[in-house]
Amino acid sequence: MVNVNRLKAKLVEHGMNVEQIAEQMGIDGATFYRRLANDGNTFTVGEVDNFSRILALTRDEVNAIFFAQYVA
> Residue 72: what residue type?
A
pTM: 0.80
Tens-place pLDDT, residues 55-64: 999 999 998 9
> Residue 14: what residue type?
H
User: Is 2 strand, coil or helix?
Assistant: coil
The Cβ of residue 23 has, within 10 Å, a number of other Cβ atoms equal to 14
Q: What is the rounded distance in angstroms from the CA atom of residue 24 to the CA atom of residue 6?
A: 19
Residue ranges and CATH numbers for the domains of the chain are 4-66 (1.10.260.40)
Tens-place pLDDT, residues 10-38: 999 999 998 999 999 999 999 888 888 88
